[in-house]
Amino acid sequence: MKHPGIAIGVAALAIAAQAGTASAFCGFYVSGSGEKMFNDATNVVLMRDGTRTVLSMQNDYKGPLDDFAMVIPVPVVLREQDVKTLAKAVFDHTDALGSPRLVEYWEQDPCPVPAMREERSMGRAAGAPMASSAADGMALAKKATVKIEAQFDVAEYKILILSATDSTGLETWLQQNHYKIPLGAEPLLRPYVESGSKFFVAKVDPKKVAMRDGRAALSPIRFHYDSEEFALPIRLGMANSSGKQDLIVNILSADKRYEVANYKNVFIPTNFDVKPGVKARFAEFYAALFDKTIEANPGAVVTEYAWTAVPNYHCDPCTDADITSPDLMTLGGDIVGGKIAQGHFVLTRLHARYGKSDMTDDLRFREAKPVTGGREVWSKNGLEYGARPSPQNYFQARYAIRHWWTGPVACANPVRGVWGGPPDGNYQGTIAASKLAFAPRGKLEVASVVKRDLWEIGLKKKAAPSAAPGGGKFATPPIKRVQGFGVGALLGLVVIQTGLWIGRRKRGAR
């Protein structure tokens, strides 16, 4: 008889596997028959409102599925009505919206004919960049240290909610039920048992799971609970960690940004130009930039995205996918109601990369003040850079390739530095950095492809140094009389054209 496998995992996180690393989930997967199980992608979205948390999780596994199980610490006993399965598309939409992005800008004709001026004022090409039964072993569960609090089926999942009074007893229960858990699991289980956590055990019925290209097409699963604490238990995932793991947490809230309360918070360097060669290696570039950021801030959790959305909100730049109103309901809007159910939300994306000994505690979240950064917004000091306080959250990891005008400049008063889509109007869309943990590492030198010094992390570009703000060590963004393409660009263009018209009127009056 084949015995069940187990994943003792983390509640509410998105993990991508390091290239060449077998295990990507922040937990451990072992088949009862001794065969390893592999999880290459775990996507999780948290929706938080008051004390209520809705956790949605998608897993893709490669390996034997005979009664496979995953175990997640939860603060309360879940009921059948608290758990449901979801469509997979919502995770793609969430990931696409918050992913780091690369945009291309083309300098517009410095001598536009009147028709072109009008076209610039009226709109832009679509998608172009803009400014701005689990019966086996049940008898053994009657031991005093482990209790089955609830039992029910949801789709292919056979779910148990366990409680335990002793971590050694829980470890023994798992072993006696033929779960081959990694050595050293008991100390990792202990803090959850001592804090009174329950354990959500979702077994998989292989007969109800389709295999696609050697991977199990498991249904995404969602559950919700109420708890004063907003935390992410990651310590269990250290049990069989053999290398670095990438952890991405997406948090949806009605109007708040989140950060971690017990680790250092940093923002990814954003809003600078890169060389054209980055386009074909964007995921690799971003992975290298992220690694440099962690190198400069050991143990930190990096904010990559925090954006306020309302119905018909703006994006800068836009991606191909978006979180729709039905997506919000699927991810928990039907549970929390209020502003989220009406299409108002803030998406926060947090990213950490760590090894077995790097994280000594779970991730604990707290509300954070709104910030802005990473937009095509120019001032006398140059392009907006860094993360700055703001009335609303508009921060993103955004990078640009710029193509300067190379055609003729045949007018008396050329207007340089107006950026927009390509001359032929064939904009190919924004590039998002996805599957970052699979990107090659160690082969791309960030300093050789960036066009400004990244003083945020103490990195100088391979070019002649320039003065930093206030005489500091690293250089400021280049100062250019330019405007972004979109609402900000259009306003800038109107100001420029109005100034030129006034100048002509004055000259004519003389």
- Report the C-alpha dihedral over residues 57, 60, 63, 67, rounded to 10 degrees: 30
pLDDT score for 62: 66
Residue 201 lies in a domain: no
Sequence-distant (≥ 6) Cβ neighbours of residue 94 within 8 angstroms: 43, 45, 250, 252, 323, 327, 331, 347
pLDDT score for 351: 92
Residue 491 lies in a domain: yes
Tokens of 451: 């066009």
Residue 447 DSSP SS3: helix
pLDDT score for 239: 64
Question: Beta-strand (E) ranges in 290-338?
Answer: 301-309
Q: Using CA atoms, how far apart are residues 505 and 215, in angstroms rounded to an integer? A: 71
pLDDT, block means (10 residues), the chain with 510 residues: 43 33 35 44 83 87 68 91 92 89 90 59 44 40 73 92 91 75 78 91 84 80 94 74 78 96 97 94 94 95 93 67 88 92 92 82 94 89 88 94 90 88 76 73 92 94 60 40 38 42 49
Strand partners, 81: none
Residue 407 lies in a domain: yes
Residue 447 lies in a domain: yes
Which domain does 108 fall in, by range?
102-132+403-509
Residue 237 lies in a domain: no
Residue 240 lies in a domain: no
Query: In total, how many domains does the chain have?
Result: 1
Q: Of 270, 269, 317, 312, give the one whose Cα is nearest residue 97.
A: 317
Q: Residues 49, 340: contact at Cβ < 8 Å?
A: yes
pLDDT score for 205: 86
Sequence-distant (≥ 6) Cβ neighbours of residue 34 within 8 angstroms: 180
Within 131-281, where are the H helices? Answer: 167-176, 185-194
Total residues belonging to the chain: 510
Could you tell me the end-to-end alpha-carbon distance of the chain, in angstroms, rounded to an integer? 99
pLDDT score for 42: 61
Residue 496 lies in a domain: yes
Q: Residues 495, 487: contact at Cβ < 8 Å?
A: no
Residue 72 lies in a domain: no
Q: Of 179, 182, 122, 109, give the one whose Cα is nearest residue 146.
A: 179
